Amino acid sequence: MTAEGLSHVGAPLCASLGCDLVLNPTNLTNHTKKEKPRTAPTDPAVRGPTMHTTQLRISALALATSLAALGAASTSALAAETEIYGQIDTGFYAVDSKGKNPTLEMKPSIDVSSYWGLRGRESLGETGYVHFVLESGFEGDTGRVANDARAGALFSREAMVVIGREGTGEIALGRTAGFLGSTGTYAQWAATGMNPLASNAPDAALAGVFQSSPIMDNAIVVKSAPIHGVTLLGQFSNSTNQATYPESEGFSNTEHLYALAAGWKGENATALLAWQMIDYANAANGPQPHDAKPTHNIFAGASRGFGDLRVHVAYQHLENARGMLGVPSVISASSMGFDGAASREGFRADAFSIGANAPLLGGRLHGSVKVVTGEWRGERGAAADTEGERWVGALRWAYRFSKRTGFYVLGTYAYANGMFENTDASNAIANRATAAAGLTHKF
């Protein structure tokens, strides 16, 4: 290292440690002449090369600290493409469910999910790249890991490596979420703006009547570069939950997910068409028999702007679903009184949503109406009804204090009948009113 380079690293550090660092670039051994100690200038323009004189007086601690700082700077330069990111949401959440006492609690992740993560990118030539994502959900009130209840879970939302080429597309490998949702890199409800409420709150989200995709292990995602605004995607999971369905048990004894999607973004409009199939394990594992028919999920939606007003519509059809609604409000067949464990067939359902949002009082007002009608086609068990419907109305107002910090207040009301009222458990989820207010912050 040159004397001038050492001066750049050491001078500011010595100033903070109360030592003098004065280097002669011509002769580092010349330190016989003594001068009155000086304080390093506070003006950055005066530091560095302008401090060269004929003296060197430096303590061993200052030199060691300087060299350590240089090493840290070199390491930082190598990791310049890696960043820490995340968001946190905490607020008050009130629920009045049919047959239960009303509750009010401080609750995390009401409007948006709370998470933190690491992501990095390396360029390969002029257009190639590799990047990674490690993302963990957490509960803002306790700090516990969210989105994965397995012992030892850390990066519960995403853990994947991606290789791609600009103008062509990319391939991702690892743990990630499906296309039908707002979680993860490849979530297409979020990417194409399908939810008019722009919220993950129960009943405000599309999942209040639509079935969403799971977060899954052992996934492969293929994504094309946009062509005239159209992006094509494909997804496969060799075992959606490695703890429940280990790959070592063989292909037929694990649960697989297959999905295709086409998203379009125009100047003032978006559209999405997606298909998803879950093929269940050929083994009796509680929720369904070994020969259960696969669940097919078909989704179509669009949004368009009319000045400051934006309108959203969406539709979903389900065949042989093993539950109704989406996370976190899923109602399983057994929760409705049906004998799901003995039924090859599941629910047939159709869901529809229409909504809009527009500026109001410096923020944005969102509103929507959603409905799902469903029929259980498997073994009836002790259930009273095999058909039913659920209606949900929702309003949300969001205000941004800055690009990173926001405030929200929302309310929802849901009414359901038929099979949704078969049990106290299903009735409490299907028939309820909610209200929430809280803060969100991104970092």
Q: Are strands 295-306 and 128-138 parallel, antiparallel or unpaired?
A: unpaired
Determine the Cα–Cα distance for residues 217 and 243; give it in Å rounded to an integer. Answer: 9
Q: What is the pLDDT of residue 224?
A: 99
The model's pLDDT over 404-441, given as tens digits with 9 standing for 90+, comes to 999 999 999 999 999 999 999 999 999 999 999 999 99
CA angle 179, 182, 188 (to 5 degrees): 35
* Mean of pLDDT over the chain: 86
Please give the CATH topology (third level) of the domain spanning 87-442. Porin (2.40.160)
Cα angle value 190/356/274 (rounded, 5°): 35
- Assess whether pLDDT exceeds 80 at residue 162: yes
Q: Are 174 and 139 in contact (CB under 8 A)?
A: no
pLDDT in the model for residue 55: 34
- CATH 2.40.160.10 occupies which residues in the chain? 87-442
How much is the pLDDT for 287? 81
How high is the pLDDT of residue 142? 85
pTM of the model: 0.81
Residue 246 has pLDDT above 90, yes or no: no
Q: Is the confidence at residue 364, as pLDDT, over 70? A: yes
| Tens-digit pLDDT profile for residues 293-347 | 999 999 999 999 999 999 999 999 999 999 999 999 999 999 999 999 999 999 9
Neighbouring residues of 278: CB distance < 8 A, sequence distance ≥ 6: 240, 255, 256, 257, 294, 295, 297
How many other C-beta atoms are found inside a 10 Å radius of the C-beta of residue 441? Answer: 16
Give the mean pLDDT of 346-350. 98
Categorize the per-residue pLDDT at 403 as very low, low, confident or very high, splitting at 50, 70 and 90: very high
The residues facing 86 across adjacent strands are 116
Rounded CA separation 398/106 (Å): 19
Query: Which DSSP symbol is given to 432?
Result: E
115 has a pLDDT exceeding 60? yes
Return the DSSP state at 226. Answer: P
